[in-house]
Amino acid sequence: MNGDQTTHWRRTRGLMWVTLAIWFVFSFLVHWFANTLNGMSFLGFPLGFYMAAQGSLVVFVVLIFWFARTQDRIDRECGVAEED
Amino acid sequence: MRMQGSFIENLPKIYGLYTGGFIVFILLMAVLEQMGMAADTIGILFVGFTVLIYAAIGWLSRTMQVDAYYVAGRSVPPVFNGMATAADWMSGASFVAMAGGIYMGGHAYLAFVVGWTGGYVLVAALMAPYLRKFGCYTVPDFIGTRYGGNTARFCAVLVLVVASFTYVTAQINATGTIASRALHLPFEVGVWFGLLGILLCSMLGGMRAVTWTQVAQYIVLIIAYLVPVIWMSNKQGFGLVPQLVYGDAVMRLGELETLHQVGVLTPTEAVPGLRALTVPHAAAGTSALDSWRFITLVLCMMAGTASLPHILMRYFTTPSVRAARQSVAWSLLFIFLLYFTAPALATFTKLQVLDPNLATGIIGKSIAEVTSLDWVRNWSEVGFLKVIDSNGDGILQINEFFMRGDIVVLATPEMAGLPYVISGLVAAGGMAAAMSTADGLLLAIANALSHDLYYKIIDPKAETKTRLVVARVLLLVIGAAGALVASLKLTGILGAVAWAFDFACSGLFFPLVLGVWWKRANRQGAIAGMLAGLIAGTWYLYMVRFAGMDPWIGIDHLRFGIIGMPVSLIAMVVVSLMTAEPDKETQDMVDATRIPAGSSVLSSSH
* Residue-wise pLDDT tens digits, B458-503: 888 888 888 888 888 998 999 999 888 877 766 554 456 889 999 9
How far apart CA B32 and CA B49 sit, in angstroms, is: 15
The half-sphere exposure of B531 on its side-chain side, counting CA atoms within 13 A, is 12
- What rounded mean pLDDT belongs to chain B? 89
Q: Are B157 and B525 in contact (CB under 8 A)?
A: no
B294 contacts A34? CB cut-off 8 A: yes
Q: Are B60 and B216 in contact (CB under 8 A)?
A: no
A27 contacts B299? CB cut-off 8 A: yes
**Cβ-based contacts of A71 with chain B (< 8 Å):** 129, 325
A72 contacts B325? CB cut-off 8 A: yes
Note whether B595 contacts A: Cβ–Cβ < 8 A: yes
How far apart CA B282 and CA B566 sit, in angstroms, is: 32
Containing A46, the helix (H) or strand (E) segment is strand A45-46
Instruction: Give residue B533's pLDDT.
Output: 96
Note whether B291 contacts A: Cβ–Cβ < 8 A: yes
Chain A, window 2-61: residues with a beta carbon less than 8 angstroms from a chain B beta carbon? 5, 8-9, 12, 15-16, 19-20, 23, 26-28, 31-35, 37-38, 41-46, 48-50, 52-54, 56-58, 60-61
Over range B199-206, report the average pLDDT: 86
**Cβ-based contacts of B329 with chain A (< 8 Å):** 61, 64-65, 67-68
What 3-state class would DSSP assign to B62? coil
Over range B37-49, report the average pLDDT: 87
Note whether B32 contacts A: Cβ–Cβ < 8 A: no
State the pLDDT confidence band at B1, using cuts at 50, 70 and 90. Answer: very low
Buried b / exposed e over B169-200, threshold 16 CB at 10 Å, is bbbbbbbbbbbbbbbebeeeebbbbbbebbbb
State the pLDDT confidence band at B244, using cuts at 50, 70 and 90. Answer: confident
Q: Are A27 and B295 in contact (CB under 8 A)?
A: yes
From A31's Cα to the closest Cα of chain B, the distance in A is 7
Instruction: Give residue B405's pLDDT.
Output: 80
B122 contacts A27? CB cut-off 8 A: no
Q: Are B222 and B340 in contact (CB under 8 A)?
A: no
Note whether A83 contacts B: Cβ–Cβ < 8 A: yes
How far apart CA B66 and CA B206 sit, in angstroms, is: 9
DSSP B127: I
Residue A21 makes CB contacts below 8 A (sequence gap 6+) with none
- The nearest alpha carbon in chain B to A82 belongs to B597
Look at B209 and B180; give whichever has higher pLDDT. B209
DSSP B551: P
**Cβ-based contacts of B102 with chain A (< 8 Å):** 53
Over range B183-196, report the average pLDDT: 83
Look at B384 and B30; give whichever has higher pLDDT. B30
State the pLDDT confidence band at B295, using cuts at 50, 70 and 90. Answer: very high
Q: Are B411 and B348 in contact (CB under 8 A)?
A: no
Instruction: Give residue B2's pLDDT.
Output: 43
- The nearest alpha carbon in chain A to B326 belongs to A68
Instruction: Give residue B5's pLDDT.
Output: 56
* Crossing angle of helices B288-305 and B110-122, rounded to 10°: 40
Note whether B587 contacts A: Cβ–Cβ < 8 A: no
Containing A65, the helix (H) or strand (E) segment is helix A56-77
> pLDDT over 90 for what percent of chain B?
46
- Ordered by start, the domain boundaries in chain A are 3-77
- The nearest alpha carbon in chain B to A60 belongs to B118
Residue B307 pLDDT exceeds 70: yes
How many beta carbons lie within 10 A of that of residue B597, not counting itself? 16
State the pLDDT confidence band at B200, using cuts at 50, 70 and 90. Answer: confident
What domains can be seen in chain B, in order of their start residue? 2-58+76-249+283-347+418-594 (1.20.1730.10)
Considering only CA atoms, give the Rg of chain B: 24
**Cβ-based contacts of B332 with chain A (< 8 Å):** 60-61, 64
A63 contacts B595? CB cut-off 8 A: no
Over range B541-564, report the average pLDDT: 89
Q: Are B96 and B410 in contact (CB under 8 A)?
A: yes
Look at A54 and B166; give whichever has higher pLDDT. A54
**Cβ-based contacts of A28 with chain B (< 8 Å):** 295, 298-299
The residue among B356, B341, B406, B338 whose CA lies nearest residue B252 is B356
**Cβ-based contacts of B284 with chain A (< 8 Å):** 34-35, 37-38, 48-49
From A44's Cα to the closest Cα of chain B, the distance in A is 5
Chain B, window 62-121: residues with a beta carbon less than 8 angstroms from a chain A beta carbon? 102, 107, 110-111, 113-115, 117-118, 120-121
Buried b / exposed e over B437-471, threshold 16 CB at 10 Å, is bbbbbbbbbbbbbbbbbbbbbeeeebeeeebbebb
Dihedral of alpha carbons B410, B383, B420, B360, sign: negative
How far apart CA B138 and CA B148 sit, in angstroms, is: 15
How far apart CA B137 and CA B471 sit, in angstroms, is: 13
B250 contacts A45? CB cut-off 8 A: yes
Chain B, window 241-260: residues with a beta carbon less than 8 angstroms from a chain A beta carbon? 243-248, 250-251, 254
Over range B89-107, report the average pLDDT: 88
First CA to last CA distance, chain B: 20
Containing B401, the helix (H) or strand (E) segment is strand B401-403
Q: Are B446 and B474 in contact (CB under 8 A)?
A: yes
Name the β-bridge partners of A46: A41
Residue B525 makes CB contacts below 8 A (sequence gap 6+) with B514, B571, B572, B573, B574, B575, B576, B577, B579
**pLDDT, tens digit (0-9, with 9 covering 90-100), for B473-484:** 998 999 999 888
Residue B603 pLDDT exceeds 80: no
**Cβ-based contacts of B596 with chain A (< 8 Å):** 75, 80-82
Residue A18 makes CB contacts below 8 A (sequence gap 6+) with none
Note whether B122 contacts A: Cβ–Cβ < 8 A: yes
Cα angle for residues B129, B132, B137 (degrees, 5° grid): 150
The residue among B353, B256, B315 whose CA lies nearest residue B82 is B315
How far apart CA B483 and CA B191 sit, in angstroms, is: 6
Q: Are B62 and B209 in contact (CB under 8 A)?
A: yes
> What backbone phi and psi angles, to 5 degrees, belong to B390?
-60, -40
- Interface mutation target, options A2, A37, A60, chain B, most CBs of B under 10 Å: A60
Residue B396 pLDDT exceeds 70: yes
Residue B17 pLDDT exceeds 60: yes
Instruction: Give residue B492's pLDDT.
Output: 53
The residue among B488, B496, B592, B582 whose CA lies nearest residue B191 is B488
The residue among B376, B566, B447, B532 whose CA lies nearest residue B164 is B447
